Amino acid sequence: MVSQYQEIKERVWAANQEIPKRGLAIYTFGNVSALDAARGVIAIKPSGVDYEKLTVDDLVVVDLSGKIVEGKLRPSSDTPTHLVLYRAWKSIGGVVHTHSTSATGWAQARLPIPIYGTTHADHLAEDVPCTSVMSDEAVERDYEVETGNQILECFKNRDPLHVPMVLVAGHGPFTWGETPEKAVYNAAVLEELARMAFVTRTLDVDAARLPDRLIRKHFERKHGKNAYYGQK
Ligand SMILES: [Zn+2]
């Protein structure tokens, strides 16, 4: 019998395949999930399974409280972090976590990624934020849930669809989007922005941020009611 979650599982499987393909992870690093809002569940990569061995049937379906509703394997250990984000932000439909090298480098340096150029401004109109470092108490309490809470804390005054990415200090990036495909796209974009910013800062430690007028121009070309980039 075909699973009632077949469609979301197939999309999550395909989105997970993009992670090694885009050079965003080695071995089993990283995970993608997607929300089926109508059914109140997410599908997510199982814990510790290689991307090349991953099958659609391996994906785990859990409800928004984290209870497994379908699947034989254990869900990704990062599942509670994904769930914190889905519960808080009704606008998102996909979440990605990787340890992609350049983005993780900035996260380990505990630095936001400065908005140095128009490639960055095309995607978000501010620096890529970096959370604070987790306290010892939070690590002891519930590490994965607290990772989600740290992200929410960092986004108290941000719209997650305007800033679809974050660096978790000392750890690595999380990205999201209205769909799992968009969340993966944002993970690849973030890695590229991180690499470009690293090169920029290496060449000039005092490199200037892009002027506000250019930031707004580039962001608004692609976002909002007056967007005109691409095809109708
Ligand atoms: Zn991680």
Query: What positions carry a catalytic annotation?
Result: 122, 229
pLDDT in tens, the chain (232 residues): 789 999 999 999 999 999 999 999 988 899 999 999 999 999 999 999 999 999 999 999 999 999 999 999 999 999 999 999 999 999 999 999 999 999 999 999 999 999 999 999 999 999 999 999 999 999 999 999 999 999 999 999 999 999 999 999 999 999 999 999 999 999 999 999 999 999 999 999 999 999 999 999 999 998 878 888 887 6
| 116 alpha carbon – ligand 1 mean position (Å) | 26
| 12 alpha carbon – ligand 1 mean position (Å) | 18
Tell me what pLDDT residue 232 has.
65
Tell me what pLDDT residue 231 has.
76
The number of beta carbons lying within 10 Å of the beta carbon of residue 196 is 16
**Which residues partner with 74 through β-bridges?**
none
| 172 alpha carbon – ligand 1 mean position (Å) | 6
Do 116 and 196 meet the contact criterion of CB atoms below 8 Å apart?
yes
Tell me what pLDDT residue 1 has.
72
Q: How far apart are CA 124 and CA 171, in angstroms?
A: 21
| 224 alpha carbon – ligand 1 mean position (Å) | 32
**Which residues partner with 128 through β-bridges?**
113
pTM, 2 dp = 0.95
The distance of Cα 170 from the centroid of its chain, to the nearest Å, equals 16
| 22 alpha carbon – ligand 1 mean position (Å) | 17
Q: Phi and psi dihedrals of 40, rounded to 5? A: 65, 35
Backbone angle region of 162, left / alpha / beta, with phi > 0 → left and psi within -120 to 50 → alpha: alpha
What single letter denotes the amino acid at residue 124? L
Tell me what pLDDT residue 223 has.
86
| 102 alpha carbon – ligand 1 mean position (Å) | 14
| 4 alpha carbon – ligand 1 mean position (Å) | 30
Q: Phi and psi dihedrals of 57, rounded to 5? A: -70, -20
Do 106 and 167 meet the contact criterion of CB atoms below 8 Å apart?
yes
Residue 73 DSSP SS3: coil
